[in-house]
Amino acid sequence: SQTIHQWPATLVQPVGSPLSLECTVEGTSNPNLYWYRQAAGRGLQLLFYSVGIGQISSEVPQNLSASRPQDRQFILSSKKLLLSDSGFYLCAWSRQGGTTEAFFGQGTRLTVV
Amino acid sequence: RKEVEQDPGPFNVPEGATVAFNCTYSNSASQSFFWYRQDCRKEPKLLMSVYSSGNEDGRFTAQLNRASQYISLLIRDSKLSDSATYLCVVTYGQNFVFGPGTRLSVLP
């Protein structure tokens, strides 16, 4: 069976510090991978998606970046966090084709102070 | 105009009630449709896919009207455990676009 792991679960970081969130998928190959952010009381905002190694599409311009160094690894990074980066970050995967559902990791709750 | 819109909610209903959620989407090229459920401070989880012919899963019934670009979810005999935020989701190509969600509170 397929599983998705995302860590850490919670994170408190000072403004201006770097960020690295990691997500890995097991039990499948060549998945589509996604990073979403959910601000408090708001809907999910797609940040990045990837259809293959090294292929990253950015949906929202901001101070975040994403990388996919391996087939089942997706990393969200920032060089300098802003207060507005606080939120619930969710990694997800789906099968290629865009017709089947997405599966989410447990999320990282980031608070920038 | 937002790509996916939902009833603003919240819906507060007594146990045993029937409740319906509505969703509209703007892109006629949308391929697939889903309802997800999100509990407070948790990740979204798939509730059910939505097919053109309509589909049912126990107390839950989903309908899709492609001509009107409209999706619905009906919950019968509401349980306390149904309390959550319900997210309407459509796909465009490889992307999943989420609606803002409708919060449901089932009251004893």
Which chain B residues are within 8 Å of A51, Cβ to Cβ? Answer: 94
Nearest to B86 by CA among B37, B28, B26: B37
Residue B80 φ then ψ, to 5°: -55, -35
Residues of chain B above pLDDT 90, percent: 82
pLDDT digit string (tens) for B31-65? 899 999 999 999 999 999 999 888 999 999 999 99
**Phi, psi values for residue B89, rounded to 5°:** -135, 135
Q: How far is CA A57 from CA A43, A53, A73, in A?
A: 20, 12, 15
Rg of chain A over Cα atoms, rounded to whole angstroms, equals 13
Residues 6+ apart with CB under 8 A from A73: A22, A23, A24
Contact list in A for residue B42 (CB cut-off 8 A) is 106-107
**Separation of alpha carbons A27 and A72, rounded Å:** 9
Q: What is the mean pLDDT of residues A107-111?
A: 96
* pLDDT greater at residue B95 or residue A24: A24
Local structure of residue B48 (DSSP, 8 states):
E
Test mutation, A38, A55, A101, A110, chain B, max B CBs within 10 A: A101
How confident is the model over A37-79, as pLDDT tens digits?
998 878 899 999 999 999 999 888 688 999 999 999 999 999 9
pLDDT tens digits for A4-38?
999 999 999 999 999 999 999 999 999 999 999 99
For residue A94, list chain B residues with Cβ-Cβ distance below 8 A.
94, 96
The answer to whether A106 contacts B99, with C-beta atoms less than 8 Å apart, is no
How many whole angstroms separate alpha carbon B71 and alpha carbon B69?
7
